[in-house]
Structure 1
């Protein structure tokens, strides 16, 4: 389990905390500043292509709508290594360079708002499946990546799968 805390200004996440108490890990992201893990700056790693990516999700059973199922199957089929059961800890792993892409469905703003400044402050990107910035008013589909190139490829795969569905 993790504790997620977000501060939003005009609906936009500007401060995020991801706390993993059991492992004594705390990521803090503040808009415009580098993300820290236990007080030390961290950065996401480069991963240009999905075929080389480690991809995280909580579990395939959370992709319940037809478009979410189609997107999940396509992007996880394109990645090198899927890892399940990661939940919000995956955001921290991406921020510190231990993973490449995270794809989720069925989320609420309290599930992703804290991750926005953490991922962005580490040099990554986090959006909805249409590539829109996440706010308190975003939908339930999220993709986060440490590398903008893998993110763009992931979005293309998701959008193609949804269009074919």
Structure 2
């Protein structure tokens, strides 16, 4: 199979999701709460975008598995699995803030091999295969992505969705030890934060409580741009959980030492 075929197909998936999300963004929208202990919103945009992508996958690659946020997993008969977050940043979406994205990942035998992150309202699309990564915008700009050098935490821009996502006091204390040393800290960009690492605008992202569909599609883009992404203890990030991503190897190491202490 020509891998470029999967790249082209991922763009089709993103277009199908965008046709749903753009129609509903900043419109009248019912919001359900699927959280057991806290507010965890889901909307018809989340479900509709994932359903549209699943329909395309079933038609084109019926032996591929699908893991998504909103529906039951479809098991793979081929070793290929699509990992979908149809609307990452639902809280931003329902608040009318265009920092939500669609995340599309592709795994082969459990290894992330391609990712695409799309923000159709702004017009930003990012994609990569672990060796190269690209961005395009609605104005015809973009090109290859490249992280920027930043070896010291004291010089770094750090992002996280919110410190409230830290699941316990120990995790929060480790995160705060990183935040206290960073030059600039920003919150609430979800997957967009990782894309700004890939684009050389942000240096470090530290998060916890992630699911595979939050991170699988991000990993090949970051790696393709020259970045580093692992679990806090240095293990693979593809299962989610506690994740640290950096554009510079030295910075990644400094953050990881604090987070795994």
| TM-score calculated relative to the size of structure 1 | 0.91
Do structure 1's residue 147 and structure 2's residue 258 form an aligned pair? Answer: no
Q: Can you list the C-alpha shifts for 1:65-85, whole angstroms capped at 9, x where unaligned?
A: 233212211111121111011
- TM-superposed CA distance for 1:50, in Å, is 0.6
Within-5 A mapping of 1:85-96: 85-96=188-199
Question: Larger Cα Rg: Structure 1 or Structure 2?
Answer: 2
- Do the aligned partners of 2:214 and 2:240 also contact (CA within 8 Å) in 1? no
Write the distance in 2 (CA, Å) between the matches of 1:8 and 1:65.
30
Unaligned runs of 5+ in 2: 1-99, 137-141
Write the distance in 2 (CA, Å) between the matches of 1:149 and 1:81.
18
Write the distance in 2 (CA, Å) between the matches of 1:71 and 1:112.
21
* Larger RCO (CA under 8 A, 6+ residues apart): 1
Do structure 1's residue 65 and structure 2's residue 168 form an aligned pair? Answer: yes
Question: How many residues in Structure 1 have an aligned counterpart in Structure 2?
Answer: 157
Could you say what secondary structure the match of 1:149 adopts?
Answer: helix
| TM-score calculated relative to the size of structure 2 | 0.58
2:113: which partner in 1? 14
Do structure 1's residue 76 and structure 2's residue 179 form an aligned pair? Answer: yes
Within-5 A mapping of 1:2-151: 2-32=101-131, 34-38=132-136, 40-135=143-238, 138-151=239-252
- Do the aligned partners of 2:130 and 2:224 also contact (CA within 8 Å) in 1? yes
- TM-superposed CA distance for 1:134, in Å, is 2.3
Runs (4+) of structure 1 moved beyond 6 Å? none
Unaligned runs of 5+ in 1: 161-165
Write the distance in 1 (CA, Å) between the matches of 2:162 and 2:240.
18
1:156: which partner in 2? 257
- Do the aligned partners of 1:101 and 1:146 also contact (CA within 8 Å) in 2? yes
